[in-house]
Amino acid sequence: MEDVIEVHSEEETRKLATEFASHLTEGNIIVLNGNLGSGKTFFIREACRCLNVNNVNSPTFALINEYKGKNKIYHFDFYRINKIEELYDIGFEDYFDDENAIIFIEWGNLFPAILPARRIEINIKTGQESYRTFEIRNYK
């Protein structure tokens, strides 16, 4: 199943993220892809607000942040990872095996070989100003 949603403002993106988060359950893995500045972290931040987490920051340098709200949330950012061995070094498999958590991954397209078959993938395409197209696909 694939949905394509167009938004024209930050407020519309916020509403989309909130609606999306209302359907998340433990064990969901969400991969977000898009150019720099496309809104990946913004979308995750707004989705996490719906899950009672208000301190979301990009884990670009930490590689992973952990949050606790309504659910346990792991937030990965693969942008600064140079080789797949770095992910093995931080034990990413243990995080992926945690069925009690919701996992967000930014820049998952950089290492597609390690992504689980069951995931939700969101590809964000940018346009003029705050125009965005969100292509949401559920891999089962």
Count the neighbouring beta carbons within 10 Å of the beta carbon of residue 67. 21
Strands of the 119-126 sheet, one edge to the other: 2-7, 132-139, 119-126, 29-34, 101-106, 72-77, 64-68
- Give me the pLDDT at residue 58, please: 78
Residue that has been written with the tokens 């707004």 in this structure: 46
Domains parsed from the chain with CATH numbers: 2-139 (3.40.50.300)
Closest CA relative to residue 126, chosen from 45, 11, 34: 34
Confidence band for 35, pLDDT divided at 50, 70 and 90: very high
Non-local (6+) Cβ contacts of 17 within 8 A are 42, 43, 44, 45, 46, 47, 50
Give the mean pLDDT of 70-93: 92
pLDDT tops 70 at residue 68: yes
pLDDT tops 90 at residue 103: yes
- Give me the pLDDT at residue 1, please: 54
Give the mean pLDDT of 54-74: 86
pLDDT tops 90 at residue 63: no
- Give me the pLDDT at residue 117, please: 95
